[in-house]
A and B are shown apart, each in its own frame.
Chain A
């Protein structure tokens, strides 16, 4: 049984102009010790689906799902007390902006000890000791001094280390990292990714990495799930995904990487991601897809079998060639 098993998750937002579906029927499975990357562009619903799991969405959001099983508990049906005992303890999350995720009014130590106090039966002295241990574990020098520092006295990379320390404080089984390195410089990004992977290996926790950077995906993930306009369009192991993408969107996205370019002119995807009012009737990618025909524009595609990466496409690609006979 997977550690996390979310089935058919949808999230709708109430907006001034009516309902907007940000996540549309997404399944997520994560096993113990798994490193899953969720990739997608802005507006693809990659963060929203994980925020829904954490219960961090505002009241305007309506979350529906068949089930949200985490470690034997269905989070979608559990009462608030049960949820609170799991969220933040067994499932933890770190965010993109380390500077603004920490409270500027309290010291790092206070915020770190607060996380411990909420979930673990430790005495004040034990909490302090554990806080120092945690900062050592995430590689911050002089942990005693850092505990007395306020967030503005630390750099972005150090703040992200503090966030990670807070997230792993209660030894979570699942860590969700939402664009953990997007706001950081490359040399610091390398340090933070390495830290996350080391922690993942040492503790055996599962890691979900939300990102838009294909380079980060290639270097960290084992499995990759690609999202587009709120739907999961493909899921594969990392090597297979880069070698043989089955959904035309993944294929086009990889081709658009400057480092894969052979000429000065990059292959690009025409148009933009559909918004609230111009969602196509059939396949959501059909207006931008080079292989789309009338069938794609009218009929919503189902998921292809696992050997074709569950591609949500009528004609999944094999080595860049659409399989028209298959359907």
Chain B
């Protein structure tokens, strides 16, 4: 049996933004030409700095946004930009892809009890499930994510950040999805709580054979969680491969710089930091050629003229003319 749950080919999402009254419109290429696959029981991490398109990717994969172009196959269903899905198909697909957001304080409705929050996805998507069954499912789910049964009748404000994130994970799992998109799931949490949630995610993945699309900017968390890593810069995938290869032998200069900029909790380690000049260019006006060329120390004339492509055939592809 083929275990592939997500297959994306040339996925793009562009936004038209108005440029003032006389300016006409400009196009922001929030996500360009991303291709990847994700199998059941595996974790694909997407890393990059703010504005690199990782959250846009999450929104496209969870069908909050439609792709502008490219093909996306989710759990056997094809989604194409030119052929919209019927509502029934969408509803069915939504049950198999769920998302956990970054901020557990903003993502739970403060006026609903935990029980109600957990039951709502079932209420909407599975109208034939009885009330008693729903409640039972919700209570089982509470136990699964490590909360106590008496939490069923409480409100979100009575919980700490870590517990809220458990509730958010529980809600995402209520429809028994096969794919879970985790958009910075631990970056709002304290270190001692972060490890509890990461452990929970690892346990759930083993038990339910979930596929995780793990979006994070924290490379030490990614290194711990991911099987495969995809590095993005300004809407493009610049490097992807197995986590161990990307971390131990990065090929793209940006990946290398990102890794060296990440502080390591070991004061005795020799610091060999690559100093990146400048900041992320505006996505409204990206540089010609390779998007990274103004900050890259290896950039040559060729980099400024044409953008390198990622060779999908390789095991550890990189979008760079002069890979390391």
Q: Which residues of A contact B (CB under 8 A)?
A: 41-42, 155, 157-158, 185-191, 193-194, 212-219, 238-239, 242-243, 252-254, 256-261, 264-270, 272-273, 288
Contacts and interface: CB of A to CB of B under 8 A. Distances in A.
Interface string B263-287: 1111111010101100110000000
Contact of A257 (B191, B202, B261, B280): B191
A219 B262 CA distance: 10
B247 to A, nearest CB: 11
Interface in B218-244: 219-221, 223-225
A81 to B, nearest CB: 40
Most buried by A among B50, B160, B192, B198: B192
Contacts of B195: 256, 258, 266-269
Interface of B: 49-50, 160, 162-163, 190-196, 198-199, 202, 217, 219-221, 223-225, 257-258, 260-269, 271, 273, 275-276, 279-280
Given A191-B276, A258-B221, 17 more contacts: A41-B193, A186-B258, A189-B261, A190-B276, A212-B191, A215-B265, A216-B263, A218-B266, A219-B263, A243-B268, A253-B191, A259-B223, A259-B224, A264-B224, A266-B198, A269-B192, A273-B190
B255 to A, nearest CB: 11
A217 B202 CA distance: 28
A254 B162 contact: no
B202 A239 contact: no
User: 9 closest pairs, A vs B, by CB?
Assistant: A215-B263, A258-B224, A185-B49, A268-B195, A41-B190, A190-B261, A256-B195, A214-B265, A269-B192
B160 A258 contact: no
A41 B261 contact: no
Contacts of A268: 192, 195-196, 199
B265 A218 contact: yes
A186 B192 contact: no
30 contacts: A41-B192, A185-B50, A186-B217, A188-B49, A189-B263, A190-B260, A190-B273, A190-B275, A191-B275, A191-B276, A193-B263, A194-B273, A213-B263, A218-B264, A218-B269, A219-B264, A219-B267, A238-B267, A239-B268, A254-B265, A256-B195, A257-B220, A259-B224, A259-B264, A264-B224, A266-B199, A268-B195, A269-B192, A269-B196, A272-B163
Contact of B162 (A243, A252, A267, A272): A272
Contact of B49 (A186, A212, A213, A243): A186
A262 B268 CA distance: 19
Contacts of B268: 239, 242-243
Most chain B CB within 10 A, of A189, A253, A256, is at A256
Nearest to B257: A187
A219 B276 contact: no
